[in-house]
Amino acid sequence: MDWQNKLTQLLGITYPVIQAPMLGVTSPAMVAAISNAGGLGSLPVGGLSPEKTRQLIQEVKSSTDKPYSVNLFAHAIPDMDIAEAEVMRRNLNALIENNELQADIPNLENLTFYNYKEQIAILIEEKVPVVSFTFGIPDDTSIAEMKQHGIVLIGTATCTEEAILLAEKNIDAIVLQGIEAGGHRGSFIGGDVPQVGLMALVPMALKAVNIPLIASGAINSGATVKAAFALGATAVQIGTAFITAHESLAIASYKEALATAKDTDTKLTRAFSGRWARGIKNEFMEYVETSGLSTPPYPIQNSLTGPLRADAQNKDNKAFTNLWSGQAAALSANKLSSAEIFNNIIRETENL
Ligand SMILES: Cc1cc2nc3c(=O)[nH]c(=O)nc-3n(C[C@H](O)[C@H](O)[C@H](O)COP(=O)(O)O)c2cc1C
């Protein structure tokens, strides 16, 4: 099977298979493992401090000399509605007390939000070869700077209109995130969050834009990779299938939940972060969604719930942390190394 195409050549990789950046799950070791196996490993740094961003990039670079990508959250930071955030803060503190968790939600004036613009200089200094982004489009200056330094840019779209907006900015390739996908929706046009299935999205976007399209959502096997290529995708991006990998940062109970999840066990929620994201249903989601409270927008809610989620993770308590997952979780819960998961998918695809 000939895997080479326009995108593999642009990226300098062997297989058009990308390990999805998964903040909180993807470690530098996972990124390096996939890049060393001939795919494109993606390091998530969305919302992280400039110092942490540099440290993680350097960890990847110390383990691979192959191309990899770094993933940004390209959103604007909204003004905080103090009254709304304070009510949420107090309720989260009460939830912590009532559930034997040990976390303190910081006062609102102590919340820190990092903007992607603070990370661009580091990406350039560290000579990152590929930058992918989600939640929006970087401003024109940032795009121009990265392009001047030869960085390949990959955007994220959840509907055709977003793909067209990315194409108008001369982005090199687009991840099409179907509604099946785990984690945050990359959506950035206003109005209701787009809920387009991958089967509709790839052919629709293909008609509208003329740049390589990367299919993402419920891809975890030879059959699903082939299906994406048959639809017209140039590459695939795989997330959930790597959550159970040895190099994953996911806690044990999260990995267990993936292995037994039914196709109806995930849903979209704003409860954890203030942005729509797909995860396995749990107590925390239920609490926020039935509380009648107004959920502050991303990244405010994300920062408010952060300490609670961190404590739940320390206690391996899956009831109070985000269990991001795509719809086909159980099909891909192989407790193997990242490279083994990757190589199995490549082999299966070649055998079909
Ligand atoms: C745990 C988790 C975290 C994610 N974090 C990010 C992220 O930081 N940046 C990003 O662009 N996409 C993120 N995504 C979305 C993936 O890029 C991709 O769209 C999705 O994993 C594809 O669907 P699948 O999970 O069914 O393979 C995340 C997905 C998961 C499951």
Output the six-digit token pair for 18: 């990308």
> CA–CA separation, 56 vs 98, rounded Å?
36
> CA–CA separation, 27 vs 56, rounded Å?
8
- pLDDT by residue for the chain (352 residues), tens only, comes to 899 999 999 999 999 999 999 999 999 999 999 999 999 999 999 999 999 999 999 999 999 999 999 999 999 999 999 999 999 999 999 999 999 899 989 899 999 999 999 999 999 999 999 999 999 999 999 999 999 999 999 999 999 999 999 999 999 999 999 999 999 999 999 899 999 999 999 999 999 999 999 999 999 999 999 999 999 999 999 999 999 999 999 999 999 999 999 999 999 999 999 999 999 999 999 999 999 999 999 999 999 999 999 999 999 999 999 999 999 999 987 889 999 999 999 999 999 9
Q: First and final CA of the chain: distance in angstroms?
A: 10
| Nearest atom, ligand 1, residue 46 CA | 8
Token pair 């404590």 in the structure block, residue? 311
* Interval between CA 98 and ligand 1 midpoint (Å): 31
Q: Which residues contact 52 (CB under 8 A, 6 or more apart)?
A: 45
Q: State which of 17, 19, 23, 27 you would mutate to test the pocket of ligand 1, scoring each by most atoms of that ligand within 8 A of its C-beta.
A: 23
Which residue's alpha carbon is nearest to atom 15 within ligand 1?
A: 183
* Interval between CA 186 and ligand 1 midpoint (Å): 9
Which residue's alpha carbon is nearest to atom 21 within ligand 1?
A: 239
For the packed helices 198-208 and 222-231, what is the interaxial angle rounded to 10 degrees? 30
| Nearest atom, ligand 1, residue 132 CA | 11
* Interval between CA 292 and ligand 1 midpoint (Å): 28
| pLDDT at residue 183, rounded to an integer | 98
| pLDDT at residue 334, rounded to an integer | 81
**DSSP secondary structure of 273-332:** TSS-EEEE--HHHHHHHHS-PPPPPTTHHHHHHHHHHHHHHHTT-GGGS--B--TTGGGG
Q: What b/e sequence results for 165-198 when a residue is b if at least 16 CB atoms lie within 10 Å of its CB, and e otherwise?
A: bbbeeebbbbbbbbbbbbbbbbbbeeeeebebeb
* Interval between CA 82 and ligand 1 midpoint (Å): 30
| Nearest atom, ligand 1, residue 279 CA | 31
* Interval between CA 129 and ligand 1 midpoint (Å): 20
| pLDDT at residue 335, rounded to an integer | 84
* Interval between CA 4 and ligand 1 midpoint (Å): 24
Which residue's alpha carbon is nearest to atom 3 within ligand 1?
A: 22
Which residues line the pocket of ligand 1, CB cutoff 6 A? 20-23, 25, 44, 46, 71, 134, 156, 177, 180-184, 186, 216-219, 237-240, 243, 324-326
* Interval between CA 65 and ligand 1 midpoint (Å): 24
CB of 21 within 8 A of CB of 42? Answer: yes
Distance from CA of residue 352 to its chain's centroid?
28
CB of 173 within 8 A of CB of 234? Answer: yes
| Nearest atom, ligand 1, residue 250 CA | 1
**φ, ψ dihedrals at 91, nearest 5°:** -70, -35
| pLDDT at residue 157, rounded to an integer | 98
* Interval between CA 90 and ligand 1 midpoint (Å): 30
For the packed helices 28-36 and 50-63, what is the interaxial angle rounded to 10 degrees? 40
Other C-beta atoms closer than 10 Å to the C-beta of 126 total 15
Which residue's alpha carbon is nearest to atom 31 within ligand 1?
A: 182
The enclosing H or E element of 73 equals: strand 68-73
Which residue's alpha carbon is nearest to atom 11 within ligand 1?
A: 134
Half-sphere exposure (Cβ direction) of 70: Cα atoms closer than 13 Å: 28
* Interval between CA 223 and ligand 1 midpoint (Å): 20
SS3 of 152, please?
Answer: strand
* Interval between CA 97 and ligand 1 midpoint (Å): 31
CB of 169 within 8 A of CB of 136? Answer: no
